[in-house]
Chain A
Amino acid sequence: MKITRRDFLKGSATTLFLAGFNFPVFASTSKKKNLVVIMLRGGMDGLCAVPVIGDKNFEKKRKSILIENTIKLNSDFALHPKLNAFHDCWKENTGTIIHATSIPYTQRSHFEGQNLMESGGRIAYQEKTGWVGRAMKLAKLQGDGLALSLPMPLLLRGVPKNNNYYPADGKLPQKDTLELLKSIYAERSEEELLEMMNYIKKRKKKEMMTGSSGYSSDKRANSNLAKEAAISLANPNGPRVAVFEVNNFDTHAAQGGINGTHTKCLVEMDGIIKNLKTYLKQEYNNTIILTVTEFGRTIKQNGGLGTEHGYGTSIFMAGGLLKKSQVYTDWPGLKKKELFQGRDLNSTIDARSVYASAMSLVFDLDFNLIRDKVFWGENLQNLSDKLFKTS
């Protein structure tokens, strides 16, 4: 039996766990728009990625790890010279940087911070759902999330039937076996397992597995996952949301300059943007790609040529739904008294204002509704007309 995702949503086997949810709008009048979130784990150093120009104080504090030959973006900010794909977006007027921003978390723990960057809340481990998942539920978009990682990130939780892709090494069992297991899960009301089984049955048809020979580690590289995700997102019946993870931004030591570990991580992020743009083709115009991180890093380098956990950082955004290329910031300055606790770049824009504004556009939801239902009515700014094409 051949079923497509849309058919499946209407299928009778799903009624059990559709209880409490409205059916998605199948024939939406507006065109399909995509959101891609790249999670930068470990604390992305906004000042390494997007350094400030001509600040003697900054240069002095980072003598040994300063990036040279940066690309000048405007009179105040430059771009890390290895971010070629993002620079291309910038040149095409589809690259935006939000600077001096952060989620409202200042305690400098990775694990709490990463939990909060995904949940969107203020108290670590309190929320069991993510801000993207909640917004998708609000927009009645179930079965529209795709994670490019082995586990399901918290960020997407809160709406049922998210899929993920991270190719496995081997061949799936026969269709009959899957059917039998599926019927057992249905009988036992194992809803989550049932959801997975529906995707697994489909997976086989789409031949997303690696096959029986060889190792699949290359296929799991983020650049390849970006290609696969872009192809799915570009499909009118495909997912609308994709979530990536880039690890190892936590460079307490040997952060290095142009060839350091922080650069490697940024280049990995850039590779995702590059392949998304390439394989989304026309659909890049209907997409917002944005980054999330738990915190920035200290202005001052430490003795190990690294940086410590900080606060303010930057967000990268790319895609045809952006208003224009710009560094959008309310720059707080880097003098000691201007720093957060005298050591970190301050945050003058709640990162969640950016995310709420982006989702308002992509999910066709009123900003205030997102603010109230996804972010508990917190004091977030509507930045839609400043950052995105609103018509």
Chain B
Amino acid sequence: MKNFFRKVAFGIGPNEKIPSDPLNWANSQITDKIPEFSWKGKYILSEKEMRKTYWREYRYKEDYVFRKKYKKDPEGFEKARKQLEKDTGKRFWPNNEICIRHTEAVRSNSPVLAKLWFFWANHFTISDTQMMRWFSNGPYQREFIRANMNQNFEKMAVEATLAWPMIMHLDNKDNVGPKSISAKQEWRRTEKRPATINENHARELMELHTISPKAGYTQKDVIELAKIMTGWTLPWTRKADHSHDVKFDSERHEPGKKYVLGNEYKRGKKSIRLVIKDLVNHPSCREFIATKLCRYLITDNPTKEMITPIIKAWEKSDGYLPEVHKAAIKVAFEYNDKYRKFQNPENWWLQMINMSGATYSYPIPERKMDKFVFGYMMSQEHRYSDWLLEDLGCNPYASKQPNGYSDISTDWMSTELIIRRLLYAKKAFHRFNADDQIDNNLHEKIVLKNFDNADEILKILSKSKSNEEKHIILFNLPEVLKA
């Protein structure tokens, strides 16, 4: 039973009581209101502010000012660029964002919500392009994903689709109707920039975000959806680059009716919302999401029996996410003893921090992060978190592809990935202060709170010669790698 607290969250910390009613404990965290962030640092900036201030400044100076100024001086360019990184906090931001994110997992009252937030952020991944990893992905996951976890899926899908980072990242800014007003403009001929469809975003909207290939759409459906999406763009100006807000430019919109999966859509701004409405209400969408939720929480191979109650909750509530989440949590509870899910490195790391109570030193505390000074070198601690996740192979802001990170166990199994688990179990031990490191009851406390087979685990740990070794062994035991 204790396994459940790791399955849907990050285990039980040393100062927490073991909840007597686990299901109620989990459900009480899934509320109609999304709680404030538990992180109390001074930088929780909006996506818009990050973009208009820091992203814009970096982009403009690198692309237009420095490229011109240091045309014949690559070394000077590189030096100026590095200083610009410091001036704009480029490498600081993801570290600060990880602190916000991980605080929700290990220091908030709603770790279940945090675990589900990570799921959705991965579902609507913004991959590592256009420098969004540094300036935008963190705020995007807060404002467009987490903030919509008390809405229905349709709202989250619409907001994620039309979010600046998504339009930028999946190239919809370049998706222009070949028969649009813009297509006929003279500059396109002189600059050799013909108006064409860019299918990228349309394809991912169906394949990754809503109905999945199982729905059986065709290439024609992709193109038609892309046509509906024409015009949703980011105006460009020299000084601001693409940092302007997303807008619908009717001059770039493809005229005429479009047909996606047999449904007809009239031209215009409203059609995107209408088509998303139809996509999220397609039976394949709820089946796809229910399967993914079960895969994330329960097993690599979800069964029909697991998925069905989640689909039913979706149908009954019109895709209201709190209801969908509660259904998924209930299924996870019911299958708790039968299935163990191999945890991805990020969730594993957070369980280790949470269960051992090293939360005072990880996430890096607010007072330390707030000491960052623009224009100067970052301290070791300021850059700890981003490097940690990069090294674990699971950086939530730096996914290589728009399909995000895998939820399949074997994808997290390799010599190097297991080496990471060994190294970071050791590193986690050294996040303790000296008193904890020499406390010989430390591991007993962790084990008794979090595992039903405590005796068996403690017997294994008794073979270890040091607390450090116990830490490495404990957090690499099969039952701890899985939940």
Report A's interface with B, CB cutoff 8 A. 41, 63-64, 107-112, 124, 128, 147, 150-152, 157, 162-174, 176-178, 180-181, 184-185, 188, 190, 192-193, 196-197, 199-200, 203, 209, 215, 247, 250, 252-253, 300, 302-306, 308-309, 341
A185-B478, A252-B198, A253-B171 known; A303 and B418 CB under 8 Å?
Answer: no
A170 touches B213 (CB 8 A): no
Asked whether A303 lies within 8 Å of B460 as measured between CB atoms, the reply is: no
User: Across the interface, which residues of A come within 8 angstroms of B188, CB to CB?
Assistant: 303
Can you give 28 A-B contacts (C-beta < 8 A)? A64-B192, A64-B193, A108-B199, A112-B213, A147-B414, A151-B406, A151-B414, A152-B413, A163-B415, A168-B420, A169-B423, A172-B422, A173-B422, A173-B469, A177-B464, A178-B422, A185-B478, A188-B478, A192-B413, A200-B415, A247-B400, A252-B200, A253-B198, A300-B196, A303-B174, A303-B176, A303-B198, A309-B199
| Other-chain contact of A150, B174, B194, B219, B417 (Cβ < 8 Å) | B417
Bound: A334/B481 CA distance, A: 53
Q: What interface size band does chain B fall in?
A: 35 or more
Shortest Cβ gap from B63 to chain A (Å): 11
Minimum distance in angstroms from B470 CB to a CB of chain A: 10
Q: Give complex CA distance A287, B463 in Å.
A: 47
A110 and B460 in contact (CB under 8 A), knowing A203-B415, A253-B171, A302-B198?
A: no
List of A residues within 8 angstroms of B464 by Cβ:
177, 180
Rounded to whole Å, the gap between the CB of B450 and the closest CB of chain A is 18
Beyond A108-B219, A111-B207, A308-B199, is A172–B465 a contact (Cβ under 8 Å)?
no
Partner of A215, one of B171, B200, B387: B387
A300 CA to B222 CA, complexed, in Å = 18
Looking at the assembled complex, report how far the CB atom of B15 sits from the nearest CB atom of chain A, in whole angstroms: 28
Report B36 CB to chain A, min CB distance, Å.
35
Complex contact A172–B219 (CB within 8 A) = no
The interface residues of chain B lying within 8 Å CB-to-CB of A163 are 415
A250 to B169, CA, bound (A): 12
In the complex, what's the smallest C-beta–C-beta distance from B289 to chain A, in angstroms? 17
Those of B418-439 within 8 Å (CB) of chain A: 418-420, 422-423, 426-427
Among B419, B427, B481, the residue within 8 A (CB) of A172 is B419
Q: Give me the interface of B with A, judged by CB distance under 8 Å.
A: 171, 173-174, 176, 188, 192-200, 203, 207-208, 213, 219, 222, 387, 391, 393, 400-401, 403, 406, 410-420, 422-423, 426-427, 460, 463-465, 469, 472-473, 476-478, 481
The 7 closest A-B pairs by CB, nearest first: A304-B174, A152-B414, A170-B423, A302-B196, A196-B418, A303-B196, A199-B415
Give Cα A304 to B419, complex, Å: 42
Given A109-B213, A177-B469, residue A304 in contact with residue B463 (CB < 8 A): no
Contact partners of A174 in chain B: CB under 8 A = 469
The minimal Cβ–Cβ distance linking A377 to chain B, given in whole angstroms, is: 26
The CA of A168 and the CA of B425, in the complex, are separated in Å by 14
Are A63 and B393 closer than 8 Å at their CB atoms? no
Further contacts, 10 of them, CB under 8 A, given A164-B416, A192-B413, A303-B176: A41-B401, A108-B203, A152-B414, A163-B415, A165-B416, A170-B426, A171-B423, A193-B418, A302-B194, A303-B193
The reply to whether B418 and A197 contact each other, CB–CB distance below 8 Å, is yes
Contact check, B401 vs A181: say whether CB atoms are below 8 A apart.
no
Q: Which residues of A contact B469 (CB under 8 A)?
A: 173-174, 176-177, 180
Q: Are A124 and B193 touching (Cβ within 8 A)?
A: no
A253: chain B residues within 8 A (beta carbon): 171, 174, 198
Chain A residues whose CB sits within 8 angstroms of the CB of B192 once the complex forms: 63-64
Q: How distant is the Cα of A35 from the Cα of B387 in the complex, in angstroms?
A: 33
With both beta carbons as reference points, the residue of chain A lying nearest to B129 in the complex is identified as A248
Expressed in whole angstroms, the Cα–Cα distance for A218 and B207 within the complex equals 35
Q: A302 and B472 in contact (CB under 8 A), knowing A124-B213, A170-B423, A172-B423?
A: no
Which residues of A are found within 8 Å of B173, using beta-carbon distances?
304
Q: How far is the CA of A83 from the CA of B151 in the complex (A)?
A: 51
Cβ distance A333 to chain B, nearest Cβ, rounded Å? 22
| In the complex with contacts A193-B478, A303-B193, A303-B198, A151-B417 CB distance below 8 A | yes
Q: Say whether, besides A180-B464, A306-B171, A150 and B418 are in contact (CB < 8 Å).
A: no
CB nearest neighbor in A for B222: A108
Kindly state the separation between the CA atoms of A109 and B200 in the bound complex, as whole angstroms: 9
Complex alpha-carbon distance, A165 and B417, angstroms: 10
Given A170-B426, A173-B426, A109-B203 contact (CB < 8 Å): yes
Q: Give B155 Cβ to nearest chain A Cβ, in Å.
A: 26
Please report the C-alpha to C-alpha distance between residue A124 and residue B423 in the assembled complex, in whole angstroms.
35
> B411–A110 contact, CB under 8 A?
no
A5 vs chain B, min Cβ distance (A) = 13
A306–B213 Cα gap in the complex (Å)? 25
Contacts of B417 in A (CB 8 A): 150-151
Q: If A150-B393, A152-B414, A170-B427 touch, does A302 touch B197 (CB 8 Å cutoff)?
A: yes
